[in-house]
Amino acid sequence: MFPIYNPLTQDQVEQIHSAALEVLGKAGLAIDHPKALEALSSYGGRVSEDRKRVFLPKGTVETLLAKAPREFLCAARKSENDMTMKLGNYYARQGGGPFSFYDMRTCQARPLTVADTIDSIRLVNHLPHINAPSTMTPSDLEVSTYDVATAKLVLENTEKHFWCLTTGAKHLKFELDMAAATVGGIENLRKRPILSSIFCVIAPLRFPADEIDRLILCGEYGVNVMTPLTVLVGGSAPYTLAGCMTQMTAEFLGAVCLCQALCPGLGQWYYTLFQYLDMKTGISLTHSPEIMAMAAAGAQMSAHYGLPSLANSLLSGDCQPHQVLFQYGINILVGLLTGVTFQVGAGSLECGNLYSHHSLILIDEILDYLKAFMGGINITPETLAVEDIIEQKDKGEYLSSKLTMKYLRKEKHHRPDLMNCPTLSNWLENPTTILDRAEEKFQRIKKDDPRDSPVSPEAQKELDALMKAAIKALG
């Protein structure tokens, strides 16, 4: 494996860490949740007189940071799809939450449907480099319970780990009960968590009570959590990139302290989700050189703390296919070179509003290509081929050499699925684009998919019963 690219010096890492500790000690976290305040107070946090803010001294942060696991399991229904989250491992996940379906060939969008959602989940099942699906936002579901219904759809259609979005703690309870039903109960889910969830910080430095309730639920069910650090450079965070890194790191450390004080040992990621406020246009950008630099720095800060990192490097802020492809390629490469553990956002365009089957397939192709690049070169006395070169010196070819025969299948050389290199004259006979070939691949997968549900009949009855209960309670 190639060395990791680190954009910060060790001194700069320490400066960011020290600045973040100063912010937590002097500005603190805005929290209006009695149980959370009590938990942080028990570790030395100082609660304000109005009990709406807690200030975290350095010792408190260091104690709770030490409790965060450096390695944790994101299990799947089939163990061969398990993911072990730790520095040095690489995984990719579908983007969550899109509400429109986008055809990248025609550049036409329409409301996302349940059928599209099921197709996307099953497509992820077949793509080897997309390790987990996510819940989305189909338009043809009841709004009041769409998140619970979408979690049910994922459970009914995947054997991979998945990321579960939710609109609130009451909804999340039904989603977690559904997951437990499919694996034989809460204790089995705690041993092998087949989903991950989320609790959020509102920049700057504010954790709403319902978000903390979600965290507590995840702790009860043993479900790993991610806290997206959704800083907007120049908007909800300082305009300087260094200041943005300080706030983001303070929010991350605050999330770790909350999580480990309330749910000791629960797995969590250093999750960077940057946006950049273009002061000329007022548009929020999710792709720029500055965002890439901060994402790389975020991965380095994650490594500094020894925790797995998560970045939205598969998410495009654009909808133009030619620019989207550039963003995918450069973002994925930077993510791999900087050691990001979990790259997420596959399938999503326009800042997560749009979903495309083509996007998932293209990202899987790009990951296949770049992972081959990251694999480096296998150098051994035999593969250096000195004897082979000597033996073939007068033949002028290596097609028939013993080394070629031995390593033809043993040393894997990359074979693209969608990318091809015809001559101009040959291509003009059938001028398909990579998007056309992505569509053909999707149709083949859809045709060959057996459509068997991984859920047992008994578990399916429980899922249906929980869905009825959710509609009654939340509708």
Q: Are 294 and 241 spatial neighbours (Cβ–Cβ below 8 Å)?
A: yes
pLDDT over 90 (residue 301): yes
Compute the average pLDDT of residues 381-385. Answer: 91
pLDDT at 318: 86
Q: Are 177 and 197 spatial neighbours (Cβ–Cβ below 8 Å)?
A: no
pLDDT at 2: 62
pLDDT at 354: 95
- Separation of alpha carbons 257 and 180, rounded Å: 27
pLDDT over 80 (residue 197): yes
pLDDT at 396: 83
Query: What is the three-class DSSP state of 105?
Result: coil
Give residue 29's identity as a one-letter amino acid code: L
The position carrying tokens 């060790």 is: 10
First to last CA, the chain: 51
Compute the average pLDDT of residues 249-256. Answer: 96
pLDDT at 435: 95
pLDDT tens-digit series, residues 90-147: 999 999 999 999 999 999 999 999 999 999 999 999 999 999 999 999 999 999 999 9
pLDDT over 80 (residue 1): no
Query: What is the three-class DSSP state of 81?
Result: helix
pLDDT over 90 (residue 65): yes
The answer to whether the bond into 457 is cis (omega within 30° of 0) is: no
Instruction: Indicate the range of 67-71, 266-270, 361-365, 370-374 predicted with least confidence.
Output: 370-374
- Separation of alpha carbons 132 and 108, rounded Å: 26
Q: Which band of pLDDT confidence, cut at 50, 70 and 90, is reported for residue 53? A: very high
Mean pLDDT, all residues of the chain: 93
pLDDT tens-digit series, residues 140-194: 999 999 999 999 999 999 999 999 999 999 999 999 999 999 999 999 999 999 9
Q: Are 222 and 189 spatial neighbours (Cβ–Cβ below 8 Å)?
A: yes
Q: Are 420 and 123 spatial neighbours (Cβ–Cβ below 8 Å)?
A: no
Sheet with 53-55: list strands edge to edge.
46-47, 53-55, 29-31, 206-207
Considering only residues 176 and 399, tell me which one the structure prediction assigns the higher pLDDT: 176
Residues 6+ apart with CB under 8 A from 397: none
Residues 6+ apart with CB under 8 A from 29: 53, 54, 56, 205, 206, 207, 254, 258
pLDDT at 204: 92
Q: Which band of pLDDT confidence, cut at 50, 70 and 90, is reported for residue 252? A: very high
Q: Which band of pLDDT confidence, cut at 50, 70 and 90, is reported for residue 4? A: confident
CA 420 to chain CA centroid, Å, is 29
Compute the average pLDDT of residues 243-256. Answer: 95
Q: Which of 378, 365, 364, 374 is nearest to 340 (CA)?
A: 374
Beta bridge partners of 103: 108
Q: Which of 104, 26, 89 is nearest to 350 (CA)?
A: 104
Q: Which band of pLDDT confidence, cut at 50, 70 and 90, is reported for residue 293? A: confident
Going along the chain from its start, the domains and CATH numbers come out as: 10-65 (no CATH), 69-374 (3.20.20.480)
Q: Which band of pLDDT confidence, cut at 50, 70 and 90, is reported for residue 34? A: very high
pLDDT at 82: 98
Q: Which of 378, 319, 306, 381 is nearest to 353 (CA)?
A: 319
Pairing between β-strand 91-94 and β-strand 100-103 as defined by DSSP bridges: unpaired
Compute the average pLDDT of residues 299-308. Answer: 95
The reported pTM is 0.92
